[in-house]
Amino acid sequence: MSQLQTPTEQAYEVPTVSLLSALLFWLKLGFVSFGGPAGQISIMHQELVERRRWISERRFLHALNYCMLLPGPEAQQLATYIGWLLHRSWGGVIAGVLFVLPSLAILIGLSWVYVAFGDQPLVAGIFYGIKPAVTAIVVQAAHRIGSRTLHNRWLWGIAAAAFVAIFALEVPFPLIVLGAAALGWLGGRLLPAQFSLGGGHAAAARSYGPALIDDDTPTPPHARFRLSRLLLLLVLGALLWSLPMGLLWALQGWHGTLTQMGWFFTKAALLTFGGAYAVLPYVYQGAVGHYGWLSPTQMIDGLALGESTPGPLIMVVAFVAFLGAYAQPQFGADSSLLSGAVAACLVTWFTFLPSFLFILAGGPLVESTHNELRFTAPLTGITAAVVGVIVNLALFFAYHVLWPQGLAQAFDWPAALLALAAAVALLRFRRGVMEVLLACAVLGVLLQQARGFY
């Protein structure tokens, strides 16, 4: 900690935190982390940087920049990273697991309600209302990321190229990410001023007082790089992946539903960058287009459930797996609920396992770098490309919401008005996601009742 403190900083006491206190905080966070990645990161910043002062602003944002560079849910990875810094590997595991576990339990329950009672007028009305809201939420995500990232023509060009690549040319998303990272790396070398955005999270000079992990706090011994530890983690990670995958292969064969789910979502976890909104097109291509585990309409409904529950938005994969296994029972004709729950848990395991390995194995390397352009420039390129991909996703959702029976059929004017109202509420009046979803759900029920009346 710095020896030069302002009078305001001297009034603060540097906090200490026990493992039990941290565990209780991460558990609470798992139940209240609404609002997608932006909302979850905001909650962590308010609690850990401003109020509890477990970590300084600069160290918080440095960790976030690394998590943004990784495939997978950045908010969950950030929680894992801070938990690891505070309490070694077990601290990271506890933080990451508790960030996900409440969401998994809630989504399994809601997925069952969806398949069991989804055709009831009340439930159907709720989903009719929130699907246009989801379209507006995706548009808001593109606007939010674009406004903090696309600050010059080069980044606008990368975003536009990514949109054309995925919309018109159907280029696989991993190739778009690799191309954007290469352009970012090249831009960092040739045009450093244009690519020094750090993914939209610039280094902060603001201080909220002394922190347990402060700007100049030495890296703790457990966070220093050791080759032996890296090799041990890689072997452990390989075992934690291969043992359940091998068991599924032995029980069901390679083409079994659960085996294919494990393999597909492992690829999704490793090959998709840019957060949940960027991974959804890849999940759609596989789960809807290739495997047929659910329909396009069900995919939008799953995103609506993901938006309205705590935890990472990528937990929509649990909904996808639940529906896929529920329709094809894996343990007998009467095992639909059990099959869906097991599939949701397995897919969650395969989706999040790489995130833990990225943090625990890569964290020591990240702690040795701070604000290096060669580290942040590829991230800037990726983030710009993600804006174009999310715009494509918004168009995909708008098509299925506004023309639910296809372009040859009637345009759904009530859904369009709901989407417009939700967009105005989010973008113009900056209302919260949960408020907008709740209002649209109520309006959806009223509209369905009015249609039945007339």
Q: What is the DSSP string of 209-225?
A: S--SB-TTPPPPGGGS-
Q: Per residue in 201-255, pLDDT tens?
A: 444 445 677 888 887 888 888 888 889 999 999 999 999 999 999 999 999 999 9
pLDDT on residue 20 = 92
Matching residue, tokens 């309409």: 297
* Contacting residues for 3 by C-beta, under 8 A, at least 6 apart: none
Count CB neighbours of 44 within 10 A: 22
Report the C-alpha gap between 95 and 47 in whole angstroms: 14
pLDDT on residue 32 = 73
Which 8-state DSSP code applies to residue 317? H
Angle at 264 between CA 258 and CA 270, to 5 degrees: 135
pTM of the model: 0.74
CB 233 within 8 A of CB 360: yes
pLDDT on residue 35 = 58
Q: In this structure, what are the phi and psi dihedrals at residue 264, rounded to the nearest 5 degrees?
A: -65, -45
pLDDT on residue 373 = 62
CB 393 within 8 A of CB 285: no
What is the sign of the dihedral through the CA atoms of 159, 161, 166 and 167?
A: positive
Find residue 69's DSSP bridge partners: none
pLDDT on residue 275 = 64
Parts of the chain with a pLDDT under 70:
1-15, 34-36, 38-39, 119, 148, 196-207, 272-278, 369-376, 406, 451-454
Judge residue 394's burial from the number of C-beta atoms within 10 Å of its C-beta, 0-12 exposed, 13-18 middle, 19 or more buried.
Answer: buried
379: tokens are 């991230």
Residue 217 C-alpha from the chain's centroid: 30
Report the C-alpha gap between 124 and 165 in whole angstroms: 35
Matching residue, tokens 């710009």: 384
pLDDT on residue 1 = 40
Judge residue 399's burial from the number of C-beta atoms within 10 Å of its C-beta, 0-12 exposed, 13-18 middle, 19 or more buried.
Answer: middle
Report the C-alpha gap between 389 and 37 in whole angstroms: 17
Report the C-alpha gap between 86 and 17 in whole angstroms: 8
pLDDT on residue 454 = 45
Task: Find, among 179, 393, 385, 175, the residue nearest to 285 by Cα.
Answer: 393
Report the C-alpha gap between 298 and 306 in whole angstroms: 12
CB 75 within 8 A of CB 41: yes
